[in-house]
Amino acid sequence: MLKLAVLVSGGGTNLQAIIDALEKDAFAAIELVISSSNKAYALQRAKNHNIESKVIRRRDFSDDILFDTAIIDALESKCVDLVVLAGYLPLLSHRVVSAFPDRIINVHPSLIPSFCGHGYYGLKVHEAALARGVKITGATVHFVDEGADTGKIIMQKAVDVMPDDTPETLQRRVMTEAEHIILPLAIKYILN
């Protein structure tokens, strides 16, 4: 069975989508949830499902190498097959990415190559989409490489932009109609 680690920073709705999918079809197991914040509600979601969790914050380490080592050690201790970035805000360093080549995926709230890269996360993605006037947006699951949202695309799903959308309503719809659907599907696709 595929062993997963899920990295989070906030509410954990994508983590919950993975948990829900695995409860219906146990094609993988979440061995560990790592959060970049001790205030992330995702930690409570992990606890609710008896999934081990750990907080690893950059500010708790004197340098980047020690921070990277803590992440790598935590992942290796669980012998994970796949690392899933599910709303994880810090960019992973070369050291972390190279320790898990082609074994880290990310979900991004746009149709890459639109509205991605440095500075495009959270509501900023949806604000940019609305400012540009696009009629369709969506989500992308991609492999993580050393760039920001530059890895090979695994799966995408489009979502219509409504005339009365706000960044918040668009964000919710992209999550529920795209991210929460394609992230578990992409994990299953990789397994197969």
Other Cβ atoms closer than 10 A to 12: 23
3-state helix, strand, coil in the chain (%, to 5): 40, 20, 40
Nearest 5°: the CA angle 87, 150, 176 is 35
In order of 29, 108, 143, 145, the CA distances from 149 in angstroms are 25, 8, 8, 8
| Catalytic residue selected from 108, 126, 142, 180 | 108
**The length of the chain, given as a count of residues:** 192
Q: Does a cis peptide bond (omega within 30 degrees of 0) precede residue 113?
A: yes
Q: Amino acid letter at 30?
A: I
Per the annotation, the verdict on 180 as an active-site residue is: no
Rounded Cα distance between 173 and 10, Å, is: 17
Active centre residues (catalytic): 108
